[in-house]
Structure 1
Amino acid sequence: MRISKEIRAFFVEEDGVGVIEIVLILVVLIGLVIIFKKQINTLLDNIFKQINSKSKEVY
């Protein structure tokens, strides 16, 4: 009977769940960045070009 209570307590315990969730979210985000690296670079280049051209108009 004691062993079954310990097994239940082990499955109910959620101490490390938050850490695992954060690690999984980071893995997914890093994977998305790796997959869409070229598109992200192109987007950022276009944004910075627009910023530079608009800032030249101001000065």
Structure 2
Amino acid sequence: MQTIIAQAKKFVRDENGITALEYGMLAGLITVLIIASIASIGSTLQKVFSDVANTI
């Protein structure tokens, strides 16, 4: 019984899994921001090219 309690305490203090989870969440957030900015820039570029094509 003592070893189970000691292992449980060791598991609670271990932060390696938490660090990996934080990196995963950060990577996901960066991915969402990149996709949103590409979508925004894409629609803006389409408008610019349409304006240029209409002017020509």
TM-score of the pair, normalised by structure 2: 0.51
Q: Which residue of 2 is the match for residue 4 of structure 1? A: 5
Higher relative contact order (CA 8 A, sep 6+): 1
Range 31-40 or range 12-21, more displaced: 31-40
Q: CA RMSD in A?
A: 2.1
Count of residue pairs brought into register by the alignment: 43
Paired residue for 1:14? 15
In 1, the alpha carbon distance for the partners of 2:21 and 2:15 equals 10
Q: In structure 1, list runs of 5 or more residues that go unmatched.
A: 46-59
TM-score w.r.t. the length of structure 1 is 0.49
Q: Shift of the alpha carbon at 1:30?
A: 0.8
Percent sequence identity is 21
Moved over 3 A (4+): none
Alignment-derived partner of residue 57 in structure 1 = none
Q: CA deviation at 1:23?
A: 1.7
1:25 corresponds in structure 2 to 26
